[in-house]
Amino acid sequence: MIDSHCHLDYEPLLSDLSNVIIRSKKVGIKKLLTISTSLESFSRVKELINKDEMIYGTIGIHPHESSKDLIKSELIIKELRENEKIIGIGETGLDFYYNNSEKEKQITSFEEHIKAAVKTNVPLIIHSRSAEDETFEILNKYKDDNIKILMHCFTGSKEFSEKLLTLNSYFSASGIITFKNSNDLRETFKTIPLNRIMIETDSPFLAPVPNRGKKNEPSFIDFTATKLAEVMNVSKSELIKSTSDNFNKLFFN
């Protein structure tokens, strides 16, 4: 298995990293992609990728941090060239759920990340919440650039997924897929081709059932894989192979 999105630089994962890695390997995880959310976060990510061969990282500014940190595409490109285990750009995107006042800053930040992705052919890890139309409108402007897109913790509508598939996007399922009230999301994932799906924890957030309410960690991805295999009507082993192949194809081809 591969956890395509976790935050190992967040507590309680950071201070318990050795045990987190041991438990990850015990359930069969082969790679962990730890995601940058700010410039401060990226400095920790750069240290974490050297802690174990299974850990890879990204560089990016979460939309919630875009009012504090503005990262230029040139800096992203520089860091990618200097760190071979930094394999993705993000977490970036748009989130208008809580506050629209920073909308323009989020869009500016998002476009800087996209420009870096165009120049480097490195995948974008995208967060989109309460911003489906705006997210697609911006990404669609770069359709001819064939940017690599991974929609992190996808909870969007079926219509949004269909539009994103026209951009050859990938979609990552999190522990939310196990929640009792996520029937619509499960129905949407049934319509997404298996060769476009990955799994993630977003740990330490969004722990799957039966650990909902606890601090999440990468080893809990096993519960998400079990549920997603049921949703996709495939065996768990097939689900794990497909999602791992998809990750390796996107990030290492």
Q: What is the largest CA-CA distance in the chain?
A: 45
- Whole-number Å distance between alpha carbons of 17 and 104: 37
pLDDT at 231 over 70: yes
Residue 163: its pLDDT value, please?
A: 98
pLDDT per position as a tens digit, 22-40: 999 999 999 999 999 999 9
pLDDT per position as a tens digit, 117-167: 999 999 999 999 999 999 999 999 999 999 999 999 999 999 999 999 999
Look up the CATH number of domain 2-252.
3.20.20.140
Q: pTM of the full predicted structure?
A: 0.97
Q: What residue spans define the domains of the chain?
A: 2-252
With beta carbons less than 8 A apart as the criterion, state whether 216 and 205 touch.
Answer: yes
Residues 32-56 have a mean pLDDT of 98
Structure tokens at 109: 């930040």
With beta carbons less than 8 A apart as the criterion, state whether 175 and 198 touch.
Answer: no
C-alpha count within 13 angstroms, C-beta hemisphere, residue 125: 28
pLDDT averaged over the chain?
A: 96
Residue 206 φ/ψ region, left for φ over 0, alpha for ψ in the -120 to 50 degree band, beta for the rest: left
Residues 176-200 have a mean pLDDT of 98
With beta carbons less than 8 A apart as the criterion, state whether 197 and 232 touch.
Answer: yes
- Give residue 151's Cα distance to chain centre: 6
Residue type, 114: I
